Amino acid sequence: MRRALPSVVAVLAAAVLQAGLAPHLAIRGVVPNVMLLVVVTIALVTGPGRGAAVGFAAGLTFDLLGTVAVGPMALVLTVVGYLAGLLHEAMFAEGWLLPLTVVAVSSLASEVLYGLVLDLIGFGVAFWATLVTKMLPAAMYNTVLALLVYPWLARLLRRERPMKTFRRLA
């Protein structure tokens, strides 16, 4: 329970930021997904099991904050958290290129997957138009914000392995 506490606190903080701050960081209707950033960071630091569990909790919170059905983002972030967590062993503490690449790919994958799930449940997503106007800009925006979120959160979660490069960044 004590080991899970930082993850729980991180998800709660992400929920507060998603509801209170993220709407005001929107650029042309593209709102950053703070929950995704936290899920990918935790997954990379802790592994696939924790990544999937945190992804489910964060996704469910995201769904409950919105007005679409409950479940789509929980499904998406569970899968993304698990897959990102599989790279846990390949992560070097000092590296920064791989985490950012994982965030970029995870972000685009989660946006595409979320759009597909919404389309399946009748939301009516015009896929190609949405890919250009929402999914790609959101993925880029999330990747830029990961430069701020990942170093701090990863350091907090991984105290036993110092992160020299990110210590300078953070």
Partner 1 sequence: MLVAISIALMTVWFREGDSGPLHRLRRGVQAVAAPVSATGEWITRPARGALAWASDLGVSRSRLEDLRAQNERLRARVAELEEARLENARLTELVGLTKAREIDSLAAHVIGRPANAWEGVITIDRGSDDGLTNGMPVLGPLGLLGQTVEVSPSSAKVRLITDPRSGVAAMLQATRADGIVRGSIDGRLTLDFVSVDETVTPGDVVITSGLGGVYPKGIVIGEVQSADRTPSALQQLIRITPASDPLTLEEVLVVLQSRATIEPKDGE
Q: Which among 94, 80, 81, 76 is positioned nearest to 42, based on CA atoms?
A: 81
Contact set for partner 1, span 68-87 (CB under 8 A): 68-72, 74-75, 78-79
> Is residue 150 a contact point for partner 1 (CB under 8 A)?
no
> Around 31, how many Cα atoms within 13 Å sit in the side-chain half-sphere?
13
Q: CA–CA separation, 162 vs 154, rounded Å?
A: 10
> Is residue 64 a contact point for partner 1 (CB under 8 A)?
yes
- Name the minimum Å distance from CB 110 to partner 1: 11
- In the shown chain, the binding pattern of residues 15 to 44 toward partner 1, with x for contact by CB under 8 A and - for none, equals xx-xxxxxxx-x--xxx-x-----------
Element (H, E) at 74: helix 72-85
Instruction: Kindly report the backbone phi and psi dihedral angles of residue 68, in degrees, each rounded to the nearest multiple of 5, phi listed first.
Output: -80, 180
- Name the minimum Å distance from CB 164 to partner 1: 34
Q: Which among 113, 99, 109 is positioned nearest to 42, based on CA atoms?
A: 99
Q: Which residues contact 65 (CB under 8 A, 6 or more apart)?
A: 15, 18, 19
Q: Name the β-bridge partners of 27.
A: 30
Pick 138 or 154: Cβ nearer partner 1: 138
Contact set for partner 1, span 105-144 (CB under 8 A): 114-115, 118, 121, 123-126, 129-130, 133-134, 138
Pick 23 or 162: Cβ nearer partner 1: 23
By CB under 8 A, name the binding residues for partner 1: 15-16, 18-24, 26, 29-31, 33, 52-53, 55-56, 59-62, 64-72, 74-75, 78-79, 114-115, 118, 121, 123-126, 129-130, 133-134, 138
